[in-house]
Structure 1
Amino acid sequence: MSAYDIALIVVALALLGAVALPRLLERRPLSFPIIYVGLGAVLFSVPGVATVDPIGNAVVTERLTELVIIVSLMGAGLKLDRPFDWRSWSSTWRLLGIALPLTIAAMALLAWGVVGLLPATAILLGAVVAPTDPVLAADIGAGAPLTELEEEHAPEHEWGTVQFALTSEAGLNDGLAFPFTNLAIVVAAALSADGAWLLDWVLVDVLYKIAAGVVVGYLVGEVIARTVFRAPATLQLAEVTAGAEALAATLLAYGLAELVGGYGFIAVFVAALALRHFEWEHDYYRELHDFAVMVERLLLSTVLVLFGGALVGGLLAPLTLPLALLGLALVFVIRPLAGVASFAGTSAPLPERAVISFFGIRGIGSFYYLSYALAHASFRQRELVVAADALWAFVGFVVLVSVVVHGVSASPVMEALDRRRGRASERNTDAES
């Protein structure tokens, strides 16, 4: 079977799945990613079908995962119906400012002290698997944009809803994990311990690149918003392409941010927020959101099918027991504890804290960061005491565990949480009566 034939099958499955699977899987302990990983495993197990090699095709892997992430970030930003302010976004800041660095630090320390990796590789491992993935988290995140503002601004809702917290965290933490990935690269390349490289990392990789991403994203979002809402579509051709502005904003924000040396992931998410906040009560946001989600599903399906093919092609073969235990610790211990710690001192109910903390889904972003870091010669030459295929096996194992565990548990857990909220609402109503 030729690569072209396989590509046709993958695209057909992606189109069919994007339309049918959300309805078929609703309220079932099964998820879109699980289905496609399984389909990929079956498809690439057929005799005569070429194997999938993400390491040998590193450039394709990096660019494909990069594209999936930026489209997903646009969709995530368009879902958020809550006006931007520090108080109502407190759940987001806590997850980004506490849970993310705690997860990176814990993973790096364990990889260094227990598994025996060198410092740069340990830091990289922590940065690669720390972010909650905006692509795979979409199934438990916020829904499509509303045509009215979210009403949850009372003090008791200061910590945020589960869906809002996970979506906003996933939208921003991919970009904020980038400085730590770059830290691993500069540590690997550092020839002396005079501290100059650390200052350069703080000034450039942390301060400048984050600021550049925010500024570029905001400007692009404003320009696209004024173009969309000040010049409504009237021609038939414009109506047919409705929603395509979301993809234009995605590519423009990412390209311009990378051109000026900023973080493109941050720029795309900020552009989506600026676009969403421009005119709240407009139903065209659903067109923008639906177009972004459709493109995301098509790209995601391709990546997941290829991931399934890589699994049956031996991706996990180099996985060692210490690395496997480290991956399980991340999913079941480190991320949940870091998430719970980030809500210390808040009024967030314990069940909601637990759900937000547990559903830190790992996914496509981890593949991108690993391929990005390994593309740097200084990292490959100086710090890899384990083979690159072992690192790929570790990340593949973590993503597989996350896809299965979180995919199976998402629907029943969210339903149980909704029932609990319903009972709590009834008790509050009775008390007021």
Structure 2
Amino acid sequence: MELVLAVAGGLALLAAVLPRVLHGRALSAPLVLTLLGASVFLLPEGLVRLDPRPELDLVQLLTELAVIVSVAGAGLKLNRPIGWRGWGSTWRLLGITLPLSVAAVTFLALGLLDVPVAAALLLGAALAPTDPVLASEVQVPGPDEEELGSDNEVRTTLTAEAGLNDALAMPFVLAAVTLAAHGELGVRWVLTEVVWSLACGIGVGWLVGKALHRLFFRARSRSLRLAEHTDGFVLLAVALLPFGLAEIAGGLGFLAVFVCAYVVRGNAESHDYHDVLHDFGEQLEVLFVAALLTALGVAVGSGLLAGLRPAEVLFAVLVVLVVRPLLGGLALLGGAARPRAAAAIAFFGMRGIGTLFYLAFALGHADFGPVDPLWRVVTCVILLSVVLHGLTAGPVMRRLERRGAHQPRR
């Protein structure tokens, strides 16, 4: 126990120090933490080992919490009023790129990995959404940075996409679970797991967001008007309350969290309390990233990738370097994003903690056959994304913004 506490303290310190030390450099904190964890293979065998495969419940819990907090943070960052035109790039990514990515990755898995249909669909669903946890480098930094907010097509689009597509990938994951468990999907399944879950998630998020916004900013009693205080931990209410209520009602919890946070944000309304909530959420995100990516690195150093085949490596490369950039770029053609901005948006489809959540969730609810290949390819995709996107996100974003290429077409 003493060793665990010491390691936890060291990770907390690293989580605070690394972003500042690495600011403006090509190296990213997620990459350094993953490499640090993977370095356990240098230690004597058996001293430090970690295997997520038998600990699905714990992996699901930790990754789910990380995604919930990150989705809430994404909703609080956005200061562009929602609409068909203003959010056009986001709608294109959600309506075109996401389903086509699920289909493309599913067919790739069937062709390269020799896995069952349900397992291939699971990979397609888990690897389709942009991860809100690891995408912070390319998102809107916070409510107080107007110049990087509503007028920044790249950051706004990626923030909104990352906040929404984790929720929209869930029906595909549930479809894979249902196929693995029952072998077919019916009309009733579509009505409950797609139509109702979407409507319920939006409805619960909007209602809870309106109630919390009124409480925070307009309560008659000053003691209840939390916006006049500095209680950042109230973010947990914005994140956990809509998620729990939506899940109880059969809705998409991640969707409810994003909608709630966006409504609390108040459609570009400016207030210091938004910064308080955002800063607390950002600190939680940093802690989750430090813990989970270091743990993933330890798992890799402990042999999680043992038996990795060339076909699995090829699959990971195609997912990161071909599927997302190609389908993202096609979806953005003719839209508000300028060519260079569209290329950046399409490229920075980061894969990470959300993918681990969906994999653990699905494997805990159905039998998908051999699980080792699934863990290997998912881990390989995440590692490639952490390395490639971690090295390029900062320099690319700075170059785009310096040239003004991030501004939308008028």
The amino acid of 1:67's aligned partner reads L
Equivalent position of 1:304 in the other structure: 293
**Is residue 190 from structure 1 mapped to residue 182 from structure 2 by the alignment?**
yes
Q: Which residues of 2 match residues 80-229 of structure 1 at below 5 A?
A: 80-146=78-144, 161-191=153-183, 197-229=185-217
- Output the CA distance in 1 between the equivalents of 2:71 and 2:43: 34
Residues 276 and 117 of structure 1: is their aligned pair in 2 closer, same or farther, counting only changes over 3 Å? same
Q: Deviations over 1:235-277 (max 9, x none)?
A: 9x99886222111121111111111111111111111101001
Q: Which residues of 2 match residues 3-402 of structure 1 at below 5 A?
A: 3-14=1-12, 16-42=13-39, 45-47=42-44, 49-146=47-144, 161-191=153-183, 197-231=185-219, 242-277=231-266, 280-376=269-365, 379-380=366-367, 383-384=368-369, 387-402=370-385
Residues 151 and 144 of structure 1: is their aligned pair in 2 closer, same or farther, counting only changes over 3 Å? closer
Maintained 8 Å contact 1:74/1:250: yes
Residues 422 and 325 of structure 1: is their aligned pair in 2 closer, same or farther, counting only changes over 3 Å? closer
Maintained 8 Å contact 2:74/2:159: yes
- Output the CA distance in 1 between the equivalents of 2:88 and 2:191: 26
The amino acid of 1:399's aligned partner reads I
- Output the CA distance in 1 between the equivalents of 2:400 and 2:253: 35
| Aligned pairs, number | 406
Maintained 8 Å contact 2:167/2:255: yes
Residues 367 and 422 of structure 1: is their aligned pair in 2 closer, same or farther, counting only changes over 3 Å? closer
- Output the CA distance in 2 between the equivalents of 1:306 and 1:136: 15
Residues 213 and 423 of structure 1: is their aligned pair in 2 closer, same or farther, counting only changes over 3 Å? closer
- How far is the alpha carbon of 1:46 from its aligned partner? 3.5
Residues 421 and 199 of structure 1: is their aligned pair in 2 closer, same or farther, counting only changes over 3 Å? same
Maintained 8 Å contact 1:224/1:245: no
Q: In angstroms, what is the RMSD of aligned CA positions?
A: 2.6
- How far is the alpha carbon of 1:188 from its aligned partner? 1.7
Give the TM-score, by structure 1 length.
0.88
Residues 89 and 166 of structure 1: is their aligned pair in 2 closer, same or farther, counting only changes over 3 Å? same
Maintained 8 Å contact 1:82/1:149: no
Comparing 284-293 and 214-223, the one that deviates more: 214-223
- Output the CA distance in 1 between the equivalents of 2:406 and 2:50: 49
Q: Which runs of 4+ in 1 moved over 6 A?
A: 147-151, 232-235, 237-240, 422-425
- Output the CA distance in 1 between the equivalents of 2:305 and 2:149: 46
- How far is the alpha carbon of 1:112 from its aligned partner? 1.4
- How far is the alpha carbon of 1:11 from its aligned partner? 3.6
- How far is the alpha carbon of 1:371 from its aligned partner? 0.6
- How far is the alpha carbon of 1:225 from its aligned partner? 1.3
Maintained 8 Å contact 2:88/2:336: no
Equivalent position of 1:417 in the other structure: 400
- Output the CA distance in 2 between the equivalents of 1:395 and 1:403: 12
- Output the CA distance in 1 between the equivalents of 2:383 and 2:356: 12
Q: Deviations over 1:17-65 (max 9, x none)?
A: 3433222222110111012112222357543533111001111011000
**Counterpart secondary structure, 2:404:** helix
- How far is the alpha carbon of 1:7 from its aligned partner? 3.9
- Output the CA distance in 2 between the equivalents of 1:12 and 1:213: 38
- Output the CA distance in 2 between the equivalents of 1:205 and 1:357: 28
- How far is the alpha carbon of 1:349 from its aligned partner? 1.7
**Counterpart secondary structure, 2:130:** coil
- Output the CA distance in 1 between the equivalents of 2:200 and 2:320: 32
The amino acid of 1:420's aligned partner reads R
Give the TM-score, by structure 2 length.
0.92
Residues 299 and 241 of structure 1: is their aligned pair in 2 closer, same or farther, counting only changes over 3 Å? farther
Residues 238 and 204 of structure 1: is their aligned pair in 2 closer, same or farther, counting only changes over 3 Å? closer
- Output the CA distance in 1 between the equivalents of 2:403 and 2:160: 23
- How far is the alpha carbon of 1:198 from its aligned partner? 2.8
Maintained 8 Å contact 1:82/1:150: no
Residues 204 and 421 of structure 1: is their aligned pair in 2 closer, same or farther, counting only changes over 3 Å? same
Equivalent position of 1:431 in the other structure: none
The amino acid of 1:263's aligned partner reads L
Residues 227 and 45 of structure 1: is their aligned pair in 2 closer, same or farther, counting only changes over 3 Å? farther
Residues 308 and 423 of structure 1: is their aligned pair in 2 closer, same or farther, counting only changes over 3 Å? closer
**Counterpart secondary structure, 1:244:** helix
Residue segments in structure 1 that go unaligned for 5+ positions in a row: 429-433
Residue segments in structure 2 that go unaligned for 5+ positions in a row: none
Q: Deviations over 1:318-355 (max 9, x none)?
A: 32221210110011111000100111232532111110
Comparing 411-420 and 53-62, the one that deviates more: 411-420
Maintained 8 Å contact 1:65/1:365: yes
- Output the CA distance in 2 between the equivalents of 1:364 and 1:151: 24
The amino acid of 2:334's aligned partner reads G
- How far is the alpha carbon of 1:280 from its aligned partner? 0.7
Residues 148 and 42 of structure 1: is their aligned pair in 2 closer, same or farther, counting only changes over 3 Å? closer
**Counterpart secondary structure, 1:415:** helix
**Counterpart secondary structure, 1:177:** helix
- Give the % identical residues: 45
- Output the CA distance in 1 between the equivalents of 2:401 and 2:227: 40
